[in-house]
Amino acid sequence: MLGDHPRPGTRGERDAMNPYAPPAALTPVLRPAAWIYGLATEWRNRRYATGARPAERLAHPVLAVGNLTVGGTGKTPVVAHLAAELQRRGWCPAILSRGYRRQGERGEAVAVVSDGATLRLGPEDAGDEPVLLARRLPGVPVLCHRRRSIAGRWAEANLAVNLFILDDGFQHRALDRDCNLLLLDGAEPLGNGRLLPAGPLREHPHGMRRADLILLTRCTAPAAALPPDAARHAPGVPVFSSDFVPAGLVDGDGRAAGALDAIQGRRAVAFCGLARPETFFGMLESAGIALVSRLAFADHQTYDAAARERIAAACRCDAPDVLLTTEKDLVKLPPGPWPCPLRAVSIAVRVHQPGWLDAVEARLTTRQPGK
User: Which CATH number characterizes residue 154's domain?
Assistant: 3.40.50
pLDDT of residue 102: 80
Q: Do the domain assignments include residue 134? A: yes
Q: Are residues 96 and 212 in the same domain?
A: yes
Residues 19-42 have a mean pLDDT of 85
Q: Are residues 220 and 275 in the same domain?
A: no
pLDDT tens-digit map of 188-203: 999 999 999 999 999 9
Q: Are residues 101 and 236 in the same domain?
A: yes
Residues 12-21 have a mean pLDDT of 46
Q: Do the domain assignments include residue 117? A: yes
Q: Are residues 223 and 263 in the same domain?
A: no
Q: Do the domain assignments include residue 52? A: no
Q: Do the domain assignments include residue 209? A: yes
Q: Are residues 272 and 138 in the same domain?
A: no
Q: Do the domain assignments include residue 7? A: no
Q: Are residues 320 and 261 in the same domain?
A: yes
Q: Are residues 305 and 262 in the same domain?
A: yes
- Spatial distance between the Cα atoms of 78 and 133, rounded to a whole number of angstroms: 11
Q: Are residues 164 and 269 in the same domain?
A: no
Q: Are residues 134 and 267 in the same domain?
A: no
Q: Are residues 191 and 262 in the same domain?
A: no
Where in the sequence is the domain holding 337, given as residue range(s)?
A: 245-348
- When mean pLDDT is compared across 96-110, 136-150, 202-216, the lowest value belongs to 96-110
Q: Do the domain assignments include residue 37? A: no
pLDDT tens-digit map of 119-135: 999 999 999 999 999 99
Q: Do the domain assignments include residue 211? A: yes
Q: Are residues 210 and 315 in the same domain?
A: no
Q: Do the domain assignments include residue 252? A: yes
**How many domains does the structure of the chain reveal?**
2
Q: Are residues 132 and 252 in the same domain?
A: no
